[in-house]
Structure 1
Amino acid sequence: MTQTVDQKSADPRPGAGLSFRIVPPGLYAGRASVLVERSFLVYRRLWLSFVSGFFEPLFFLLSLGYGFGRLVSEVEGPGGHLISYPLFVAPALLAASAMNGAVFDSTYNVFFKFKYGKLYDAMLATPMGPLDIAIGEISWALLRGGMYSGAFLAVMLGMGLITSPWALLALPACLLVAFAFAAVGMAATTFMRSWQDFDLVQLAVLPLFLFSTTFFPLSVYPPLLGTVVTWTPLYHAIELLRGLTTGVVGWGMLGNVAYFAVMAAVGLVIAARRLGTLLLK
């Protein structure tokens, strides 16, 4: 803590003219858990808005997986094996659930706190630093995405859409996916100037949801489009979770894990540096 004396005041009373300013000791002070606790206390009163994100993938599973699935007997799954359409769609919606929960929290909510609520300015009047804020917000987004994923996994288990014990690793995989999307989402939020910029978020998330082999196998796409699809993050998430839930596991999944590890690291570094630049200038 540093003490700043206001020399302009001539008031002779004890303590008059003194102002105090708390300066973060650095980018990181180990206080990120405080921000996670705050988010928990806030959403404890807004639980309905919190749990609503779980129902979107569930409705897609019931309408497309079982409705449209009656028109499609089997599709090409991991390793070229033919599987039922609900078994094909369910892990993809699981990946999308982790993505949506993480992106929503790390973009819309963070932008409001940053631009309008001025919450982070107040936090920097404490020993917390920009990296604490980045880690705290990303951790909460990860927890939200993980809760959606855990609930959806329970639904899949109840519907008989999990056919392998490898599915025990599906929840940790969802947490990694949520962490990576939250880190990139928060990094992108630091570049946004107004609410209109969030149209760009939907412009990115919606095509990912529709074209990353969520509803159709990669073989139905033209070669060029199929190659582009394999570069997208949601495709790697779907491949990872589809393999785990169906039991088709291979060394290629380590590439999917490495993809998200790099994505998370890059997003976290950019988010922390941008917050430091914008909040400490």
Structure 2
Amino acid sequence: MNAAVLVERNVMIYKHTWYVLLAEIFEPVLYLLSVGVGIGVLVGTVTDVPNGTPIRYAAFVAPALLATAAMNGAMNETTFLMYGKLKTDRTYESMLATPLSERDIALGEIGWAVLRGTIVSTAFLAVVAALGLVTSPWAILVVPGAALIAFAFATAGVVVVTYLRDWQDMQYIQLFMLPMFLFATTFYPLSVYPRPIQIVVQCLPLYQSIELLRNPALGVLSVKVLVAVVYLAVMGALCLRLAVRRLGATLAG
């Protein structure tokens, strides 16, 4: 498959720029230590959790930061970095002179973004485990869960990047991503909101991503996990179809 060639190209590039991935791992670690562990000393335990057993605040926050790491890893690749290839460096124009098609480019970039998001999340999971915050063997499901999260956000990122007009438009992405990170139950349970706000929060893709990882991380396999899987799979499938069409039109134009 031609798209695999593009994934291989990115792997070769990141062999020499591995510190970029290290920085993405370092960011959630800082959040975990400062908020999860630091503020966690003041918070104590969280009782409104999927398994109903009070847990340390750091153990509550860690799965949410895992989901965020997968999201950011995928989105950074398919928005900021892909925009440079698309608009500034014109990398894809030279690729189209080879047997690669617009579809191959879209699938290749999405495939690498999924791999990147999964690598970042898996490395962060190792840090979480080293800190003693893994409370269930079901936490192993975090790895495929992170891959699904990365897929959903990578496809969405490719769609978004085709609408960007210049570098300043990147601020609109952050205008959506940052509030979602803060309010999608990353740092406190859904019950803190009134019911109308809860419904809005539950519709956010990061909320569903956090549910997908937090439940198995705490040893709970409930219907919420299935709902999150369906939500993210449908989101990824719809965005994938649109991404291939939009990228093709953008490159053709």
How would you bin the TM-score normalised by the shorter chain? over 0.9
Q: Which amino acid in 2 is paired with 1:56?
A: E
Q: Does 1:57 align with 2:28?
A: yes
Displacement after TM superposition at 1:128 (Å): 1.1
Partner of 2:155: 183
CA deviation string 1:135-175 (max 9, x = no partner): 10011111111111111111111111111111111100000
User: Does 2:55 match 1:92?
Assistant: no
Distance 2:126 2:50 in 1: 22
SS in 1 for 2:55: strand
Match for 1:64: what amino acid?
V
**Residue 178 of structure 2 is aligned to residue 209 of structure 1:** no
Q: Quote the residue 1:259 is aligned against.
A: 231
Aligned partners of 1:61 and 1:139: how far apart in 2? 28
Match of 1:37 in 2: 8
Task: Give the 3-state SS of the residue equivalent to 1:247 in structure 2.
Answer: coil
Report the Cα offset of residue 280 of structure 1. 2.5
Question: Which structure has the highest helix share of the two?
Answer: 2
Q: CA deviation at 1:79?
A: 4.7
Give the equivalent residue in structure 1 for 2:18: 47
The Cα shift of 1:252 comes to 2.7
- Does structure 2 retain, via aligned residues, the 8 Å contact 1:164–1:244? yes
Which residue matches 1:138?
110
Secondary structure, counterpart of 2:141 in structure 1? helix
Distance 1:223 1:84 in 2: 26
My pick for the range that moved more, 39-48 or 235-244, is 39-48
Match of 1:271 among 237, 243, 250: 243
1:104 maps to 76
SS of the residue aligned with 1:78? coil
The corresponding residue for 1:171 is 143
Aligned partner of 1:129 among 101, 116, 119: 101
Are residues 228 and 79 of structure 1, via their aligned partners in 2, closer, same or farther at CA, if it must alter by over 3 Å?
farther
Residue 61 of structure 1: how far off its partner (Å): 0.4
Judge conservation of contact 1:78–1:239 (CA < 8 Å) in 2: no
| Structure 1 residue corresponding to 2:194, chosen from 219, 222, 229 | 222
Paired AA for residue 238 in structure 1: I
The one of 168, 172, 194 equivalent to 1:196 is 168
Name the CA distance, whole Å, in 2 between partners of 1:42 and 1:155: 25
Distance 1:137 1:160 in 2: 35
Tell whether 2:118 aligns with 1:149.
Answer: no
SS at match of 2:43: coil
In the other structure, the counterpart of 1:15 is none
Counterpart Cα distance in 1 of 2:85 and 2:44: 48
Q: Distance in 2 between matches of 1:80 and 1:207?
A: 27
Distance in 1 (CA, whole Å) between partners of 2:39 and 2:250 is 48
1:171-209: CA deviation from partner (whole Å, max 9, x where unpaired): 000000011101101111011110111001101110111
Unaligned runs of 5+ in 1: 1-29
Alpha-carbon distance in structure 2 between the residues aligned to 1:38 and 1:217: 41
Q: What amino acid does structure 2 have at the position aligned with 1:134? A: A
Q: Deviations over 1:205-250 (max 9, x none)?
A: 1011100000011111122222110000110111111111110111
Mapped contact 1:110–1:189 kept (Cα < 8 A): yes
CA contact (8 A) 1:87 1:161 kept: yes
Aligned partner of residue 229 in structure 2, secondary structure: helix
TM-score by length of 1: 0.87
Moved over 4 A (4+): none
User: 1:4-49, CA deviations, whole angstroms, 9 ceiling, x for partnerless residues?
Assistant: xxxxxxxxxxxxxxxxxxxxxxxxxx30011111111222222222
Q: Percent identity?
A: 50
Aligned length, in residue pairs: 252
TM-score (normalised: structure 2): 0.96
- Contact 1:102/1:141 (8 A) holds in 2: yes
